[in-house]
Structure 1
Amino acid sequence: MPCDEAPDDLSLATELLGRTAHGRVAASMRALPFLAPARHIVTDGRVLLRMHGRPGYDQACVGHVVAYGADSLGLAESTAGAWAVHVVGECAAAEPTAAELDRLGPPPRVADGEPYDPVYLRLTPQFATVHSTDDGLRGGSGRED
């Protein structure tokens, strides 16, 4: 697993990412920060992202260090507490396997009022941050993947 940080931090972060299907990519484009929603799966310690390609956010991510975050807010398990995870690492364009595409499920038909144009990125986490409240790190998967 690619990481210079304590393995427990990254292991916990990737396990928590596996509990939810969507998160947010944070990067910058032309010196301005942005957040973009993405669908994700964790595979081989890396995070495969599917996002809408129209705004060109994927081009700002490829070859750069980006952050990706997700949380338990809105999941059934979040009633006992909440968690949030952020991973940071280098992002690359990706060609998902058939198995990975199956795990991601079908893409939306429309995003922001236009046809959805899926692009795939692979984030290799270098470090992670996990925050939780109450018993937020306990509970079931909250996801059917």
Structure 2
Amino acid sequence: MVLDYYYILLSAPCRGPMMVAKALGIELNLKKVDLLQREQLKPEFVAINPQHTVPTLVDGDFTLWESKAIIGYLVGQYGKDDSIYPTDPKKRALVDRFLYYDMGLHETFRAWAVSRVTLCKYCFIMPGTARYVSKRYLFFE
């Protein structure tokens, strides 16, 4: 079965479910949503997702948005074992720690950095701030 997936490519929350779908062998019918053109506000998209957010997944007559919920759904609905999302509580907690990391510090850094780079023509990042952000990202290495 092919699932419809509404997304924007540069969004980490959109890419997470895409990676999980690939790992599970799920084919996604990728449908880009251009937020700058306000496509998320078009009546046909609002009919699918009244909160007009991406990512949004449509699996037959079931529609879901929010990346973490989509990831959980894909694993629960299509996962053949617990290799991606363990059933052991301690192992699952370690996966959850990384799964939810972006809800705090990471998302704050990303939003700040993207706004500085894309919206501020003459802005620069202070060397101390750049080192701090780099150190936080190295945590994943």
- TM interval, short-chain normalised: under 0.3
Which one has the bigger strand percentage?
1
Which structure has the highest helix share of the two?
2
Per the normalisation by structure 2, the TM-score is 0.24
TM-score, with length taken from structure 1: 0.24
